Amino acid sequence: MDQETPLAPVSSLSFEEALAELEALTSDMAAGNVTLKQSVEGYARGMALLKRCREELNQARATIEAVQNDTTP
């Protein structure tokens, strides 16, 4: 977790960007490469990233269901 680079607002991230950041966060935390304070901050950021990913997946699911319903005779 590089605290020198300002983090983009979670709401502005694509699914892929949020997932990549979440994977990097969990990797750093699992490896013990962060302080306790960074872990707590990372946990909060990670939960926001997880929420963003779930929102994007739910939107994709809704779109697919709508397309399927439109094409069902």
**What is the value of pTM for the model shown?**
0.83
Output the pLDDT for position 26: 95
Candidates 47, 37, 49; CA nearest to 3 is 37
Query: Does residue 4 register a pLDDT over 70?
Result: no
Candidates 23, 24, 14, 20; CA nearest to 52 is 14
pLDDT digits (tens, 9 = 90+) for 14-71: 999 999 999 999 999 999 989 999 999 999 999 999 999 999 999 999 999 999 888 7
* CA dist 11 → 19, 59, 69 (Å): 13, 14, 29
Residue 21 buriedness (CB in 10 A; 0-12 / 13-18 / 19+) = buried
Output the pLDDT for position 3: 54
Output the pLDDT for position 1: 53
Output the pLDDT for position 66: 93
